[in-house]
Amino acid sequence: MGAKIGCHIPAAGGYAAMVERALSIGADTFQYFTRNPRGGAVRAYDGADVQMALQGMRESNMTAIVAHAPYTLNPCAVNPRARSFAQQAFCDDLQRLQEFPMALYNLHPGCHVGQGIAEGLDRLVEFLRDNVPEDCQTVILLETMAGKGSELGGDFSQLRYVIDRVPAHVRLGVCLDTCHVFDAGYDVRDFGAVLDAFDREIGLARLKVIHINDSMNPLGSRKDRHAKLGEGEIGWAAFVTIAREERVAGLPLILETPTPFEERAEEIARLRAAATGTN
Ligand code: FE
Ligand code: FE
Ligand code: ZN
């Protein structure tokens, strides 16, 4: 199966417009924010727009999209206001995603803000247990994080802890962000070794999406500043290896690099050529 390559797309204009925008730059998958990362406001539901988007996806063989929760959604918050925003946004997102059977819902595991890692992880387990409906079909992805500040998810074992404790109806996968894991101390320049560690600690079957970003900072820096592929501390060679790695073949590779939209087509084409060995 060829690599599915896409990028983060501005959500403006509705679902059908996003699909069209993704196709116009040669993407066969894409990611969008379910709502403005800074606030809770979300566009009104438009059934006709959703149907048009689904049709556009079917016609173009776009079989996976990634809906990214706002990064202000902190699923392990104890502060009542933050917790109620998290619950409301999460439930509303999941409800809308019922319309998109091919959508994966990407979530940051959150920040423990002083509770400590163990408490934070238990809050996250509770949050998923209490807010994912019994009949939810959407696969929820926990994203690997850089571990800056009180961020959870900077270590594969933390994700494993959560996966092991949620009830059976919560379908959990993992999104591996190359910049984040590198900043957390996993050297993705030896991608095979990172996948081995992932397989040991979480299980490769849980890996559903790769966020493909270079990092502005060195290994283990816990910073989370994305760079364009080949312009950061990870370097281009690693991305060629990732794009050709058998064990992740067919997974959506989503670019979240600081690349202007006008240059996306070129960036995607370059990575696609690397994946197929034509450059
Ligand atoms: Fe993210
Ligand atoms: Fe990411
Ligand atoms: Zn990031």
Q: Annotated catalytic residue: which of 21, 35, 206, 211?
A: 211
Helix or strand holding residue 6 (H, E): strand 4-8
Mean pLDDT along residues 181-205: 98
Please report, to the nearest 10 degrees, the dihedral formed by the alpha carbons of residues 53, 54, 59, 65 taken in order.
Answer: 90
Query: By C-alpha distance, which of 241, 145, 237 is closest to 192?
Result: 241
Is 108 an annotated catalytic residue? yes
The C-alpha R_g of the chain, in whole angstroms, comes to 18
pLDDT recorded at residue 80: 94
| Cα–Cα dist 104/119, whole Å | 26
180 known member of a binding site:
yes
Is 164 an annotated catalytic residue? no
- Per-residue pLDDT tens digits for 41-90: 677 778 899 999 999 999 999 989 999 999 999 999 999 999 999 999 99
Neighbouring C-beta atoms of residue 39, cutoff 10 Å: 11
Give the distance, in angstroms, between the CA of residue 131 and the centroid of all CA atoms in the same chain.
20
Helices H, strands E: what count in the chain?
9, 10
| Interval between CA 263 and ligand 3 midpoint (Å) | 20
Q: Annotated catalytic residue: which of 21, 206, 226, 272?
A: 226
Among all chains, which residue has been given the structure tokens 């403005």?
36
- Per-residue pLDDT tens digits for 11-31: 888 899 999 999 999 999 999
Q: Give this prediction's pTM.
A: 0.96
169 known member of a binding site:
no
Q: Annotated catalytic residue: which of 151, 177, 214, 267?
A: 177
122-134 burial, b for 16+ CB within 10 Å, e for fewer? bbbbebbeebbee
| Interval between CA 25 and ligand 3 midpoint (Å) | 22
pLDDT recorded at residue 27: 97
Give the distance, in angstroms, between the CA of residue 148 and the centroid of all CA atoms in the same chain.
17
Is 226 an annotated catalytic residue? yes
Helix or strand holding residue 76 (H, E): none
Is 38 an annotated catalytic residue? yes
Ligand (nearest to CA of 209):
2
| Interval between CA 57 and ligand 1 midpoint (Å) | 23
Is 169 an annotated catalytic residue? no
pLDDT recorded at residue 206: 98
* Paired strand residues for 177: 211
Is 122 an annotated catalytic residue? no
191-227 burial, b for 16+ CB within 10 Å, e for fewer? beebbeebeeebeeebbbbbbbbbbbbebebbbbbbb
Ligand (nearest to CA of 215):
3
| pLDDT bracket for residue 40 (50, 70, 90) | low
pLDDT recorded at residue 102: 86
pLDDT recorded at residue 256: 98
Which residues neighbour ligand 1 (ion) by CB within 5 Å?
A: 143
143 known member of a binding site:
yes
38 pLDDT above the threshold of 70: no
1 pLDDT above the threshold of 60: no
pLDDT recorded at residue 10: 87
Is 155 an annotated catalytic residue? no
- Per-residue pLDDT tens digits for 203-259: 999 999 999 999 999 999 999 999 999 999 999 999 999 999 999 999 999 999 999
- Per-residue pLDDT tens digits for 84-133: 999 999 999 999 999 888 899 999 999 999 999 999 999 999 999 999 99
